[in-house]
Amino acid sequence: MTEALNSEQKLYEGKAKIIYATDDPEVLVTYFKDDATAFNAQKKGQIANKGAINCKVTTHLYGLLEKKGVSTHLIETTSDREMRVKRVDIVPIEVVVRNIAAGSLCKQTGIKLGTKLEPSLVEFYYKNDDLGDPLLTRDRIAAMALTSAQQLDRLTEKAQTVNRVLSEFFASCEITLVDFKLEFGTDKNGELLLADEISPDTCRLWDTTEPDERKRVMDKDRFRQDLGDVAEGYQAVLERILSQLS
Ligand code: TMP
Ligand code: ASP
CB 57, CB 237: distance < 8 Å: yes
Q: Is pLDDT at 5 greater than 70 in this prediction? A: no
CA separation, residue 100 to residues 21, 126, 185 (Å): 38, 22, 27
The terminus-to-terminus CA distance of the chain in angstroms comes to: 28
**What is the CA(2)–ligand 1 centre distance, in A?**
30
The average confidence (pLDDT) of the chain is: 96
- How far is Cα 11 from Cα 238, in angstroms, rounded to an integer? 29
- How far is Cα 25 from Cα 163, in angstroms, rounded to an integer? 32
> In Å, how far from its chain's centre is CA 187?
19
CA separation, residue 174 to residues 171, 185, 196, 239 (Å): 5, 31, 25, 12
**What is the CA(1)–ligand 2 centre distance, in A?**
24
Strand order in the sheet with 82-86: 10-13, 17-21, 27-32, 82-86, 74-77
**What is the CA(236)–ligand 1 centre distance, in A?**
20
Q: Determine which residue's CA is closest to atom 11 belonging to ligand 1.
A: 202
- Element containing residue 87 per DSSP (H, E): none
**Three-state secondary structure string covering 141-171:** HHHHCCCCHHHHHHHHHHHHHHHHHHHHHHH
**What is the CA(4)–ligand 1 centre distance, in A?**
33
Confidence of residue 3 (pLDDT cuts 50, 70, 90): very low
Res 246: pLDDT: 86
Tens of pLDDT along 212-237? 999 999 999 999 999 999 999 999 99
CB atoms within 10 A of CB 125: 18
Confidence of residue 114 (pLDDT cuts 50, 70, 90): very high
Confidence of residue 89 (pLDDT cuts 50, 70, 90): very high
Q: Determine which residue's CA is closest to atom 9 belonging to ligand 2.
A: 40
Q: Is pLDDT at 50 greater than 90 in this prediction? A: yes
CA separation, residue 120 to residues 1, 68, 126, 143 (Å): 39, 20, 20, 26
In short, whether 38's Cβ falls inside 6 Å of ligand 2 is: yes
Quick one: which atom of ligand 2 is closest to the CA of 15? 4
Q: Determine which residue's CA is closest to atom 2 belonging to ligand 1.
A: 103
What is the average pLDDT across 92-111?
A: 98
Quick one: which atom of ligand 1 is closest to the CA of 106? 2
Instruction: Pick from 13, 15, 227 the residue to mutate for probing ligand 2's pocket: most ligand atoms within 8 Å of its CB.
Output: 15
pTM attached to this predicted model: 0.96
117 CB-near residues (< 8 Å, 6+ apart)? 98, 99, 100, 101
